[in-house]
Amino acid sequence: MSAKINHIAIVVEDIERALAVYRDVIGLPLEHIAEEPAEEVRIAFLPTSSGEIELIQPTTADSGVAKFLAKRGEGLHHICMEVEDIDATVAEMASRGLEILGQPRHNERGEKYVFIHPKSAHGVLLELYERPG
């Protein structure tokens, strides 16, 4: 499997307060903020030279991200690895015993993604991601 880090997602209670640190103090540029209805989050995209930092804020009180935030507080949510063939990668990982959370699905931008359960990755939620085309 060939992969690179696409982004690191940080769950936050309030994107604007988090931007005061990541954009205003650290100096990362804010590319844009978008809603991701399927995941019930609002995302601030902050590109770096080697991937992105994504600040994710739940938009509902009962979403998976909201539950994560309530249980663990703000901080690292997941690391996203970009792969060339998500279906083949998922099949290989599943055959080696990793727990895949559902089937790969598409986000609002047409990118394909799926999550790997943290208990399969030493406590870290992993996201696999495939760019369209």
The dihedrals phi and psi of 47, each to the nearest 5 degrees, come to -70, 150
- Summarised one tens digit per residue, pLDDT across range 72-90 is 999 999 999 999 999 999 9
What b-and-e string marks burial along 77-86, b requiring 16 or more CB atoms within 10 Å of the CB? bbbbbbbeeb
pTM of the model: 0.90
Residue 108's pLDDT is what? 80
**Domain at 3-130, CATH class:** alpha beta
- Summarised one tens digit per residue, pLDDT across range 46-73 is 999 999 999 999 999 999 999 999 999 9
Give me the residue spans of the domains in the chain: 3-130
End-to-end CA distance of the chain: 18
- Summarised one tens digit per residue, pLDDT across range 16-51 is 999 999 999 999 999 999 999 989 999 999 999 999
| Separation CA 39–CA 64 (nearest Å) | 8
The dihedrals phi and psi of 6, each to the nearest 5 degrees, come to -90, -50
Q: Which residues contact 25 (CB under 8 A, 6 or more apart)?
A: none
Residue keyed to tokens 């909201």: 66
